[in-house]
Amino acid sequence: MTGGAHADPDLPAGRPSGLVGKEIAGYRLEGEIGRGGMAVVYRARDLRLDRTVALKLLAPELARNDTFRKRFAHESRVAASIDHPHIVPVFEAGETEGV
C-alpha cells in the first residue's frame, strides 16, 4: 500500500478521488489513505455506529473482473481470521452497488 490523500496517479496532484464524500453501504468516505495494486483504502465514517474506520474497496477497474472480486473476498476472510494486535481487524465484508 502506497500513497496518501492524493495517491491516484491518474488524477492531478491535489485533486481527491472521485469517491470522497460519497456514501457506500452505510459508510461516508472522508479521504483516501492509500492504494495498492488491487484496492484503495479510505478513511470513512461508519454511519450506523458513528465511528471512524478504514474502508478498503476493490479498485474500480478490477471490480468488473470476477476473478479479482473472488480474490478480494478471499483476502477479507483470511484477514478476518487473524487476531493479532498489529493487524487491523475486519468488521464487515461484502459487495454493494457494484463496489
Architecture of the domain made up of 23-81: 2-Layer Sandwich (3.30)
Low-confidence winner among 33-37, 42-46, 47-51 (lowest mean pLDDT): 33-37
Q: How much is the mean pLDDT over the chain? A: 83
**Is residue 20's pLDDT more than 80?**
yes
Max CA pair span of the chain: 39
Output the pLDDT for position 17: 65
Q: Where are the domains positioned within the chain? A: 23-81
Phi and psi for 21 in degrees, rounded to 5? Answer: 95, -15
Output the pLDDT for position 98: 65
Cα separation, 42 vs 30, whole angstroms: 7
pLDDT category of residue 6 using cuts at 50, 70 and 90: very low
What's this model's pTM, rounded to 2 decimal places? 0.76
pLDDT category of residue 27 using cuts at 50, 70 and 90: very high
